[in-house]
């Protein structure tokens, strides 16, 4: 695990060291997601956040199952009943 020290500057700004930005693929002007998790500040790219959520969903939805397809099929069954 990488770690370093930095200071909070005026306006609450924190500089992300260049080696961290490179490791995350973050460039100037890129969007990041910041969250507070159990007293720790966490910064992730939107793509990483999506991948994390997909892993969580996969714990409950078997591989090869499409939730979108399941929803469409359910809506069609409902429409047939009407």
- 1-59 tens-digit pLDDT: 788 999 999 999 999 999 999 999 999 999 999 999 999 999 999 999 999 999 998 89
Cα 47 to Cα 50, 51, 53, 79, 80, distances in angstroms: 5, 6, 10, 36, 38
Q: What is the structure's pLDDT at 1?
A: 77
Classify 10-81 by CATH class: mainly beta
């Amino acid at each position: 695990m990488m770690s370093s020290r930095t200071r909070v500057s005026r306006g609450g700004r924190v500089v992300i060291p260049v080696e961290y930005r490179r490791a995350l693929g973050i460039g100037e002007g890129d969007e990041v997601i910041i969250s507070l998790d159990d007293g720790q500040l966490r910064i992730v790219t939107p793509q990483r956040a999506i991948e994390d959520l997909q892993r969580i969903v996969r714990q409950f939805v078997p591989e090869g199952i499409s939730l979108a397809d399941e929803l469409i099929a359910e809506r069609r069954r409902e429409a047939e009943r009407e």
